[in-house]
């Protein structure tokens, strides 16, 4: 049954109504063709950041770097890779989360220090970077970027510790927040994760050479074997001798559950678990918690695919690909001069009329952020003949922003932060709307609430956020 819809606000053209990706990092030590392999590793991590790409290599005593705005395949060609000699390389793909979208902020960042040149690649966000930067600037430090990551290099450069590993350990005790980082130095690559292990970082081996990457899908592409994750609060040095490890802090592991809901590739193992399996488990649990009378289960591709499979399997309702995604959409497209209905979302998604016509549909998505994309998809499906649309979301309502390296709207822009489930249902124009519960999500993930970051669903941040940051988005802690 179609219910009356709420008055609709004007819709923005931006088709991206989701949490945007963050950054991906990759490193390989003591290998032939290090820059080329880093290029392939970054290629596999492209989904984690499409704004800029960069690779730094160690050639004898010299660190060289090539960085540019754009996709990995556009930034690097053979000529550019040939300017990166050396057997050790780190790379970075970026979507800016702190610091403006500028070439100067592209990583790896390279610094000349008394310990030789250092290059840094960072995934995450430092919640106290602003304070540290103010102190460093007051004592004469000159920053070359507006990125939060640069403070780590300044702290390493200023440390009196005898070696890079000890200096890095000291620096990391000063910063707070989420960080998986790689530091390229003359004696190898230092890979570290914050004490909460919020962002992923995995170790592997390729033809005897140690490798490190944000996600294991990068290992699959280069033919590397997964070894283990870098532990929260651990620094691992990758060198000709293999891996050597040291702890710099006690860990209290709270990995980001959104990596499994949305960010990571389903063919990756992240935090020791298959992302595809997590998504199927979220979908199956959703089917038990939020059943629906329907003819087909349709995913919002791509991130809703595995949750929809889980929903279909658990409910017995057939799975059907009723929406097709255009995978070739670049970062920008030219808006047509004449208005075309639902143009923004149609650039990315289009219904398959033969699948949805006259059907009662369970539409499975991973999350609803502002609600505008869901609204357009529901409208498109109705215009293609869908009889009923029951939206099911494989995570709880998104009520808070991320301060740990995911680019999210401010809290007040998140539809679930100020509207009830019924109000959201009305806004998106669905016949029914159901979310996975927080308890259901933790159970399906296999980790309790206190051992997970789910702050965007709960507003409970495992690493304290400075009041100044919360005030900016109108979410002062009470
Ligand atoms: Fe992940 Fe959300 Fe926590 Fe950010 S706030 S780290 S997106 S779970």
Task: Report the length, in residues, of the chain.
Answer: 478
For residue 133, pLDDT over 80 is answered with: yes
pLDDT at 19 (0 to 100): 64
Q: Is 314 within 8 Å of 283 (Cβ atoms)?
A: yes
Q: Is 161 within 8 Å of 217 (Cβ atoms)?
A: no
Mean local confidence (pLDDT), 207-224? 98
Ligand 1 contact via 404 beta carbon (within 6 Å): yes
**Per-residue pLDDT reduced to its tens digit, 346-397:** 788 999 999 999 999 999 999 999 999 999 999 999 999 999 999 999 999 9
Coil, strand or helix at 148: coil
- 259 is written with which tokens? 């990596």
- 148 is written with which tokens? 């939060």
Coil, strand or helix at 116: strand
d(CA 284, CA 288): 7
Q: Is 446 within 8 Å of 255 (Cβ atoms)?
A: no
Q: Which residue has the higher pLDDT, 203 or 469?
A: 203
pLDDT at 410 (0 to 100): 87
d(CA 42, CA 5): 44
Protein residue closest via CA to atom 8 of ligand 1: 454
**Per-residue pLDDT reduced to its tens digit, 274-301:** 999 999 999 999 999 999 999 999 999 9
pLDDT at 21 (0 to 100): 54
pLDDT at 10 (0 to 100): 30
Ligand 1 contact via 455 beta carbon (within 6 Å): yes
Going by pLDDT thresholds of 50, 70 and 90, the confidence category of residue 269 is very high
d(CA 48, CA 33): 24
The rounded Å distance from CA 95 to ligand 1 centre is 16
Mean local confidence (pLDDT), 202-213? 98
For residue 335, pLDDT over 80 is answered with: no
Percent of the chain with pLDDT over 70: 91
Atom of ligand 1 nearest to the CA of 400: 5
pLDDT at 474 (0 to 100): 52
Atom of ligand 1 nearest to the CA of 178: 6
Ligand 1 contact via 465 beta carbon (within 6 Å): no
Mutate to test the pocket of ligand 1, among 396, 400, 406 (most ligand atoms within 8 A of CB): 406
**Which DSSP string do the residues of 302-337 spell out, in sequence order?**
TTTHHHHHHHHHHH-PPB---EEE-TT--S--PPPS
pLDDT at 347 (0 to 100): 81
Mean local confidence (pLDDT), 321-333? 78
Q: How far, in whole angstroms, is CA 118 from its chain's centroid?
A: 25
Mean local confidence (pLDDT), 319-325? 96
Q: Which CATH class is domain 23-254?
A: alpha beta
The rounded Å distance from CA 457 to ligand 1 centre is 8
Q: Is 191 within 8 Å of 182 (Cβ atoms)?
A: yes
Q: Which CATH class is domain 270-472?
A: alpha beta
The CA distances from residue 28 to 39, 40, 43, 405, in Å, are 11, 11, 14, 24
Within 10 angstroms of residue 218's Cβ, the number of other Cβ atoms is 29
- 291 is written with which tokens? 């059943």
Q: By C-alpha distance, which of 55, 109, 113 is closest to 84?
A: 55
**Per-residue pLDDT reduced to its tens digit, 156-188:** 999 999 999 999 999 999 999 999 999 999 999
- DSSP letter at 79? H
Mutate to test the pocket of ligand 1, among 98, 402, 408, 414 (most ligand atoms within 8 A of CB): 402
For residue 96, pLDDT over 90 is answered with: no
pLDDT at 144 (0 to 100): 85
Atom of ligand 1 nearest to the CA of 452: 8
The CA distances from residue 247 to 234, 250, 271, in Å, are 4, 8, 18
Atom of ligand 1 nearest to the CA of 457: 2
Active site residues: 23
Coil, strand or helix at 143: coil
Q: What is the pTM of this model?
A: 0.92
For residue 9, pLDDT over 70 is answered with: no
The rounded Å distance from CA 211 to ligand 1 centre is 26
Ligand 1 contact via 270 beta carbon (within 6 Å): no
Going by pLDDT thresholds of 50, 70 and 90, the confidence category of residue 124 is very high
Going from N- to C-terminal start, the domains of the chain cover: 23-254, 270-472
Strand order in the sheet with 62-69: 62-69, 52-59, 88-94, 23-28, 209-213, 202-206, 225-229
For residue 119, pLDDT over 60 is answered with: yes
In whole numbers, what is the pLDDT of the chain averaged over residues? 90
């Amino acid at each position: 049954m179609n219910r009356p819809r709420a008055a609709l606000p004007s819709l923005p053209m931006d088709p991206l109504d989701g949490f945007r990706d963050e950054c991906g990092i990759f490193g390989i030590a003591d290998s032939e063709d290090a820059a080329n392999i880093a290029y392939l590793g970054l290629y596999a991590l492209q989904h984690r950041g499409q704004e800029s790409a960069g690779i730094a290599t160690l050639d004898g005593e010299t660190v060289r770097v090539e960085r540019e705005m754009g996709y990995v395949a556009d930034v690097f060609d053979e000529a550019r890779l040939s300017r990166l000699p050396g057997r050790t390389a780190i790379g970075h793909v970026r979507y800016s989360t702190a610091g403006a979208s500028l070439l100067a902020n592209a990583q790896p960042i390279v610094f000349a220090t008394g310990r030789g040149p250092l290059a840094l690649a960072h995934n995450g966000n430092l919640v106290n970077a602003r304070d540290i930067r103010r102190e460093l600037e007051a004592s004469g430090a000159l920053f070359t970027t507006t990125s939060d990551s640069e403070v780590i290099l300044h702290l390493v450069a200023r440390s009196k510790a005898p070696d890079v590993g000890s200096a890095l350990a000291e620096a990391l005790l000063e910063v707070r927040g989420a960080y998986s980082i790689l530091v390229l130095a003359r004696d190898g690559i230092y890979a570290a994760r914050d004490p909460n292990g919020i962002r992923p970082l995995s170790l592997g081996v390729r033809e005897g050479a140690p490798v490190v990457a944000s996600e294991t899908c990068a290992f699959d592409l280069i033919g590397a074997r997964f070894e283990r994750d870098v532990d929260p609060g651990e620094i691992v040095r990758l060198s000709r001798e293999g891996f050597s490890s040291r702890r710099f802090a006690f860990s209290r592991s709270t990995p980001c559950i959104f990596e499994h809901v949305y960010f990571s590739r389903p063919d990756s193992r992240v935090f020791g678990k298959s992302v595809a399996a997590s998504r199927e488990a979220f979908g199956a649990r959703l089917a038990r918690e939020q059943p629906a009378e329907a003819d087909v289960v349709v995913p919002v591709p791509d991130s809703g695919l595995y949750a929809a499979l889980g929903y279909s399997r658990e409910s017995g309702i057939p799975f059907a690909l009723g929406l097709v995604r255009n995978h070739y959409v670049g970062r920008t497209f030219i808006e047509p001069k004449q208005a075309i209905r639902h143009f923004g979302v149609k650039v990315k998604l289009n219904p398959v009329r033969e699948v949805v016509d006259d059907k009662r549909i369970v539409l499975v998505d991973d999350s609803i952020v502002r609600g505008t994309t869901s609204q357009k998809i529901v409208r498109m499906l109705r215009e293609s003949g869908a009889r009923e649309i029951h939206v099911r979301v494989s995570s709880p309502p998104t009520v808070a922003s991320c301060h740990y390296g995911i680019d999210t709207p401010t809290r007040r822009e998140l539809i679930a932060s100020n509207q009830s489930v019924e109000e959201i249902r009305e806004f998106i124009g669905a016949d029914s709307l159901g979310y996975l519960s927080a308890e259901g999500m933790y159970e399906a993930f296999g980790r309790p609430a206190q051992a997970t970051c789910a702050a965007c669903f709960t507003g409970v941040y495992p690493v304290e956020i400075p009041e100044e940051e919360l005030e900016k988005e109108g979410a002062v802690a009470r």
